[in-house]
Amino acid sequence: MHVRMLNGGVAAACLVALSLTAGQAAAAAPRAADAPLAARVLTYDAGGSAEFKSAVNRGAAIWNESVDAVELRPVAAGQRANIRVLADNGWPRALPTTLGNGTVYIGRQAVDQGYDTIRISSHELGHILGLPDRKPGPCSSLMSGSTAGTSCTNPYPNAAEKAEVEGNFAGVLAERAPAGRAEVIVD
């Protein structure tokens, strides 16, 4: 994963402010002007995703491979996740509440029609990361969703989709670790 650059004094001040206002922040030593900026960490709970759990984990890994400004991690036991992932018998959908937060449904209806579970997972997580549907669209566009057809198994965002997510999370100063945990991402 690549990381951004930020002045150490500003980063340290913002980390203190985050810990006072949100109760969650990453601990960090002062950084040099050329030190990397940590990605925003979003946790997800795939416990309710039933038979789609491995597809959800792969969809999250694809986003982690594709963008620098945000990282998706499974939630730690006893912690509250930013993203809840559930399986149901309907059509796949995402219900974002705020950027990086919400509920994803991996609907069996689309799977039964032949749509790829990893593409569905990656697409729906894209909505939580702030991306809209782009229908109709080609298979090369992850956010084209079902309009690319059942033969499309591409689970990767294209360059424009990656750039949009990077822009959505630009300026985020620190990881938002679950309450009670403080850590720094070092890659």
DSSP one-letter code for 23: S
Q: Which residue has the tokens 């109709």?
A: 136
The amino acid occupying position 7 is: N
Active-site annotation holds for 164: no
Per-residue pLDDT of the chain (187 residues; tens, 9 = 90+): 444 433 444 444 443 343 333 333 334 344 455 555 678 999 999 999 999 999 999 999 999 999 999 999 999 999 999 999 999 999 999 999 999 999 999 999 999 999 999 999 999 999 999 999 999 999 999 999 999 999 999 999 999 999 999 999 987 544 343 333 322 212 2
> 42, 52, 105: which is closest to 75 by C-alpha?
42
Q: Which residue out of 124, 161, 164, 175 is catalytically annotated?
A: 124
**In whole angstroms, how far apart are CA 66 and each of 61, 101, 156?**
9, 19, 8
The DSSP bridge pattern shows strands 4-5 and 36-37 to be antiparallel
- Spatial contact of 71 and 33, defined as CB atoms under 8 Å apart: no
Please provide the distance, in angstroms rounded to a whole number, between the alpha carbons at the two ends of the chain. 7
> 64, 61, 65, 67: which is closest to 4 by C-alpha?
67
